Structure 1
Amino acid sequence: MTARPDVALVTGAGSGICAEVARRLAARGLGIVLLDKDAEAVQRVADELGDALARDPLVVDVTDAHALESAVASLTPHHRPGVLVNGVGGDTRARPVSELTEADLQSAVAHNLASVFTMTRLCAPAMVEAGWGRIVNLASVAGRTYSLFSNAAYVAAKAGVIGFTKQCAYELAPHGVTVNAIAHGVIGTERIRRAWEDKPPQWTADRVSRIPAGRFGTVAEAAGMVCQLCGDDAGYTTGTVIDVNGGLHI
């Protein structure tokens, strides 16, 4: 079943960076398939997009591989995405490794890495058949180096996203399919701002002071670079990790 270059599937599309990615890709004329586990949140984004939707949102928890398989299998030939943005992930718990358990690692991998693996293996074959595809994975500055804001389980999972991206880029490049990763730093999404509200002011000030730009990134800045990698003119860019972090990691 051949993928359509004018259809984009965006996971984690109910809020934050990926909701903005969906809006921007829709503004470019792509049909959008939204996927998120939060039915109310993703429906709000769907209502915004209106006629830009390729179909009703897919309400799925990405940690459930069988549910993802069923969701992708439900896509008609007109809804097979030529663009895939793997955006689910995150972990705002700043905890030392000595306080983590194997369950923490398993959870981090399920949310941040296994979901990227599953969606890619399910969507890439149609892109290969079409001879064109764009896959963008949301990694993190944490996967590039270390994290001031999260924990070792999350860092390990995001480093895995980067390695997975590079291998897939190598395998899929001969078929016209690019695979890239965006390593975001601290982006001022509602989720991040809520998590930081509970921290002492000095904790927040200390961490912001370590960002050379001296501020959070905006959702628009984060989404803009993702969308750049989704277009025709990104066809010779593959296997890259693009840093969007205000100079936190150079």
Structure 2
Amino acid sequence: MSPIDNEALWTLVRPYTGEQHEVQPTTRGNGSDVTALVNCDDGPVFVKACRNSPGGRRASIIRERLVNPYVRPVSPALQWHAADDEWIALGFEVIEGRSSDFTPESRDLPDVVGIVEQIGELPLPGKADEWQETRWDRFADEADAQLFRGKTLLFTDINPDNLMIGYGRAWAVDWSWPTHGAAFIDPSCLIVQLIAAGHTPESAEYWAGSCKGWTDADTRAIDAFAAATALMNRAFAERNPDAAWLGAMADAAQAWVDHRKR
């Protein structure tokens, strides 16, 4: 049985939704067992759920629940959460928006950069004190890894599907693994995504230049992070050779490194 058809899940959340008239599975939130738009008595709601068993998905959905009150200026609001021995579920407000366009001629680029800058300006919640960003550490030496430290709240999962454009505003959705670290990390993640979308490294860095975390960063720290990012993406691509998008990200990250070495 598919998780989307699991009656125990929908019984768990029914006190928060009322009668569920339609459940539309979505592809958003790949780190969850279930993501769906639910039309119900209490209005539409976006539901994310995962099995309540030890592991990354459970830890991720708990972290997303904890961070939501602090990121609502840039993210859909969490309306309720529910859990039992089998499932953990989150219910978010439904937003009217679309995936952003990262390509060079896109009119979305000012909004994309604006939302990354907004994220960088959010206060770091006390709950995030233990969420130090370390994912790039094993691709850098110890001294360089220290350059990635900081007390800026980080999103890191920057891609066109997670930065959504609506009428008059934009959102960052799917806060599956917020961390804290150096302020230049989110703008740097955007740079790699822009290069993968067709920008030259020069163009990508131009757009990142609208973010204070980028403009205030030490050049050595950015160089170290670019090198670590290239190694990380190449490792992911080699581990999953059939995933063409991982190869594209590895190529984009290497193009950025090559640009910075000139």
Q: TM-score, normalised by structure 2?
A: 0.30
User: Whose Rg is larger?
Assistant: 2
User: Which one has a larger percent helix, Structure 1 or Structure 2?
Assistant: 1
Q: Work out which structure has the larger RCO, using CA pairs closer than 8 Å and 6 or more positions apart in sequence.
A: 1
Q: TM-score, normalised by structure 1?
A: 0.31
